[in-house]
Chains A and B, each alone.
Chain A
Amino acid sequence: MKILAVDDDEVIRRLMSEILTNIGFRDVTFAASGKEALNILQAAKGPFDCFLLDIEMPGMTGITLVSHIRKMPDYARTPILMVTSMAERAYVDSAFAAGATDYVNKPIDVSEMHARLQLVSELVSERKKAKSERTDGTDGATALADTSERLHIENIDGVIDYLSLENYLLQLSRLSLFGNCAFGVAIKDSKHLFEGLSHYEFHSAVTDVAEALSECLKPHRFFLAHIGGGDFAGITDAGRQFDADEFELAVGQKLREMDLYYSNGRPMVVHISASDPIQLDWRSSRSSVNALLEAVGNAEQKTLSPADALIEIRPPVKPGH
């Protein structure tokens, strides 16, 4: 795995070099500033697989550097780990909002660093394998969508990848989860709604729904991730103020305003169900992650009204028919 590590402190750079070599990661390039890192990226012959970034650096902070890296098409999904002593929530929130994948606190714990990078390495290998399989097959945009895929959605406030959402929650649990809640959202009858769609159409539809959810969550601090099919998981600091029924109405209104269509011109009518919030106040980190999935399960259950159950037993109808 090819890593670019950025830290202005020479002692830390040498320390990282020792640690990374010791745990089996030897292809590491170091930069002493954000500017130097960007120059390295511009000149690089092959892409990097992972970034390790300090936050507090003179000139350009690590968070600004994340934003620059995410704007580069080659690095839209590349894992970025913040390695920092800045543990306050404001830094954690800003890092994940800018596009960080994970957050490792200094002082560096060698075992923890090893575990996190091992997971990243497996993710990088899986993605490379999936990419080579796609390259061997048909055009990715027009091929039928795998609707179970967790989509990467860009440029919508508060919408991040599910892996980042889990890591954010784990980091938040080290600070304080008080006042935060998990919630789930499920698109009603998503199985039929998305049936027969190309990857491009599926991505567009999910992105539109994500945009509506983001708009309606804006009064509060939140992060949201697509977790496959028509399902989303989220965390918000709305706490006990989060009202699932009001949220469903607001999102429904927003989706009607957005006036969605299939690519063949047929209107796409999307309804969502939102779970009741699950308060995270005193939960452990692992229990909080479980709460995310529990909330999504609750949202899915809510979509199964008697009318929806009837649709379930009808034969599938292809879009355009």
Chain B
Amino acid sequence: MNANFLAGLEKLREKFLAELSQRNASLKDAFSRLTAEDADENAIEDISWIAHKVSGSAATLGFKELGEQAARTERLILGTAGSHSADDAALRAEVTALIRLMDDPR
């Protein structure tokens, strides 16, 4: 791989990280809406969409663990479409793990 390519990837990593904090804020908001007493039905779709976006680019840009966690979260939601509630412990655990990695991507 040539130097221009690596420099280009580095710029993309910076852009990805800048957008990641915005996406994480949206994810935290959606998770709050999902776990609220009067749960928002759209919140699960928002979480799935954010996880999808992160999983698409994170691992390619070198954030392997974050990419895998996002993909796992998305798969869990898609695999059990329509059957999740705020009490679903598995979903809570995956989204919490995703938020933690988005706070501190490695």
Q: Is A246 an interface residue (CB 8 A)?
A: no
Pairwise interchain contact B15-A107, C-beta atoms closer than 8 A: no
Q: Is the CB of B58 within 8 A of A22?
A: no
Contact of B12 among A15, A22, A106 (CB under 8 A): A15
- B interface, size bucket: 20 to 34
Give which listed residue, A12, A18, A88, A110, contacts B56 with CB less than 8 A. Answer: A12
Closest B residue to A113 by beta carbon equals B60
Cβ-based interface call for A14 (8 A): yes
**How far, in Å, is B85 (CB) from chain A's closest CB?**
23
Chain A positions within 8 Å of B24 at CB level = none
The distance in angstroms between the C-alpha atoms of A9 and B61, with both chains bound, is 14
* Stretch with Cβ within 8 A of A (4 or more), from B2-10, B25-33, B87-95, B96-104: B2-10
CB of B36 within 8 A of chain A? Answer: no
Contact with B along A205-226 (1 / 0, CB 8 A): 0000000000000000000000
Contact A11–B19 (Cβ < 8 Å):
yes
Q: Which residue of A lies closest to B57 (CB)?
A: A11
Which chain A positions have C-beta within 8 A of B69?
none
**In the complex, what residues of B have CB within 8 A of residue A85's CB?**
52, 55-56, 71, 74
Residues on B with beta carbons closer than 8 Å to the beta carbon of A107: 56-60, 67
- Measured between C-beta atoms, what is the minimum distance from A56 to chain B in Å? 6
Question: What's the A-B contact tally at a CB cutoff of 8 Å?
Answer: 52
Residues of chain A within 8 A (CB-CB) of B9 are: 15, 18
The answer to whether the Cβ of A21 comes within 8 Å of any Cβ in the partner chain is yes
Decide if B84 is an interface residue (CB 8 Å cutoff): no
User: Which residue of the partner chain A has the closest CB to B70?
Assistant: A85
Which residue on chain A has the smallest CB distance to residue B2? A22
Q: Is A108 interfacial (CB 8 A cutoff)?
A: yes
Partner of B15, one of A14, A22, A54, A88: A14
Restricting to A17-40, which residues have a CB under 8 Å from any CB of B? 18-19, 21-22
Query: Closest residue of chain A to B16, judged by CB?
Result: A11
Cα(A22)–Cα(B61), bound, Å: 15
What's the least CB distance linking A63 to chain B, in Å?
Answer: 15
Check A88 against B61 for contact (C-beta < 8 Å): no
Residues of the B chain whose Cβ atoms lie less than 8 Å from the Cβ of A54: 56
Instruction: Write 29 A-B pairs (CB below 8 A) sorted by A numbering.
Output: A9-B56, A9-B57, A11-B57, A12-B56, A14-B12, A15-B9, A15-B12, A18-B5, A18-B9, A18-B12, A19-B5, A21-B5, A21-B8, A22-B2, A22-B4, A22-B5, A22-B8, A54-B56, A85-B55, A85-B71, A85-B74, A88-B75, A88-B78, A106-B56, A107-B57, A107-B59, A107-B60, A108-B60, A110-B1
New A-B pairs, 8, CB < 8 Å, besides A11-B19, A12-B57, A14-B12: A9-B57, A18-B8, A19-B5, A22-B4, A22-B8, A106-B56, A106-B59, A107-B60
